[in-house]
Structure 1
Amino acid sequence: MLSIGKTTVGRALAVLGSSLALLTTFATGNASAHGAVSDPPSRHYGCYQRWASNWQSPEMATQDPMCHQAWQADPSAMWNWNGLLRDGVGGNHQAAVPDGQLCSGGMTQNGRYAALDTPGPWKTVDRPNRFRLNLLDQSSHGADYIRVYVTKQGFDPTRQRLRWSDLELVTQTGRMPTGTTTTVDVNAPGRTGHHVVYTVWQASHLDQAYYFCSDVKFTG
């Protein structure tokens, strides 16, 4: 008969318990959360897409170190990729979201998304200076407006925390109807290399604002 030590069983139960807890968080999070920028992927959405099926893999530490530190800091932030929001901002985004905390939405949800503010070699996707941004709106809330900012040339996402003064507003929409995917055309001329695309989505159903950092490599 095969003998399994108590330590092995204990570890297996601990992993199972952790996984069930995270799945519960994800399930309950969907009830009150709504979406994210899916292309170019926001930091937390990209980490979820790449690693949700293998989030405990040791390979993440070397293959995707920024996602690794984010998963280690708070796995529920990745499972709840659609919940990075603040209520009752009233359009005063710069007051609600201080410098250095833009990617976490001003440490919203009790700092759940704090790891997204960490500078480092976040994975990028290649884009020309004119590109199309896709917002995944799971609950079809629409938008009062969507603002898209891009970091100025010379900003270094691998070393610097993002500040409002590092950004240039390049696109703002008007009111947009409901739909599961909303598309915004973006033009960010004069930029090359690694930049952050920062999106503010003011949803239509409530005074509810979402904040997303996406990492791109502009190819000209």
Structure 2
Amino acid sequence: MHAPKPGQPGRHALRALVLLVALLVGVLPWAGPAQAHGTIVDPGSRAYRCWQAWGTNHTSPAMATEDPMCYQAFQANADTMWNWMSALRDGLGGNYQAATPDGQLCSNALARNNSLNTPGAWKTTPITSNFTVHLYDQASHGADFLRVYVSKNGFDPTTQRLGWGNLDLITQTGRYAPAKDITFNVSTSGYTGRHIVFVIWQASHQDQAYMWCSDVTFA
């Protein structure tokens, strides 16, 4: 058997190093497909729309003047936009209102996403009284249902945080099989100007609830 050269580890040391690396790999929290989820991409949710508009240019000073609401969100916590697909909470058991205080609906009561609750002139998506909701689900979880609300006439999202009393329930869908793209039509009447479309997605694979605000302008 040859002795190791000076400065080189012996066989036992190499084996110990390999075991240590394997152990570390086993405990590190790698982010893979199982952690991928989704959001409403049309009309785009606040975090998704900011990521879509500024994700490749998030250091641009122009954002402060061109899109001040996205700017404050990036300044508060850029991870809110990078993880636009992960605004979920586990184990609510359908008790969405009891588990989500007024003023925290747009963040799904997640402290890291609190900037999404800030009132202001968020960029809006133009829609009509009959519009389509598009859920993009990276991991194809499917849905027990999606519930769609619209903010009441008289509510001003530029100056007020959204609460449950500010919402009209428009529709609740049935179950959807696992798919990356889920779309459905929503019919409303009597809304004009700036509103919030608020959506709850109850995922099918386990008790995970997602909530988002999408800023819209009704034609």
TM-score of the superposed pair, with normalisation by structure 2 = 0.85
**Percent of residue pairs bearing the same amino acid type:** 56
**Distance in 1 (alpha carbons) for counterparts of 2:86 and 2:159:** 26
Quote the Cα distance in structure 1 between the aligned partners of 2:33 and 2:201.
18
Aligned to 2:125: 125
Following superposition, the deviation at residue 30 of structure 1 comes to 6.0
Q: Distance in 2 between matches of 1:128 and 1:164?
A: 23
Tell me the equivalent position of 1:74: 77
Give a deviation string over 1:149-184, Cα, whole Å, max 9, x none: 001111100000000010011010011111111012
Q: Which residue does the alignment assign to 2:103?
A: 100
Q: What is the one-letter code of the residue matched to 1:179?
A: A
**How many residues of Structure 1 are paired with residues of Structure 2 in the alignment?**
190
Letter in 2 for 1:70: A
For 2:73 and 2:120, locate their aligned partners in 1 and report how far apart those are by CA, in whole Å: 11
Structure 2 distance, partners of 1:171, 1:71, is 32
**Which structure has the highest helix share of the two?**
1
Match of 1:212 in 2: 212
Equivalent in the alignment of 1:90: 93
> Secondary structure in 2 aligned to 1:185?
strand
**Kept in 1: contact 2:33–2:139 (CA 8 A):** no
CA shift at 1:188, angstroms? 2.1
- Aligned pair 1:32/2:26, yes or no? no
Describe the SS at the equivalent of 2:56.
helix
1:31–1:177 CA distance, 2 compared to 1 (3 A): closer
Unaligned runs of 5+ in 2: 1-29
List structure 1 runs of 4+ shifted beyond 2 angstroms. Answer: 27-31
**Does the Cα contact within 8 Å between 1:199 and 1:212 map onto a contact in 2?**
yes
3-state SS, counterpart of residue 112 of structure 1:
helix
CA-to-aligned-CA distance 1:4-34 (integer Å, 9 cap, x gap): xxxxxxxxxxxxxxxxxxxxxxx83865230
Q: How large is the Cα RMSD of the aligned pairs?
A: 1.2
Q: Unaligned stretches of 5+ in structure 1?
A: 1-26
Work out whether residues 143 and 203 of structure 2, in 8 Å CA contact, stay in contact via their aligned partners in 1: yes
Are the structure 2 counterparts of residues 144 and 160 from structure 1 closer, same or farther at C-alpha, using a change threshold of 3 Å? same
CA 132–215 in structure 1, closer or farther in 2 if over 3 Å, else same: same
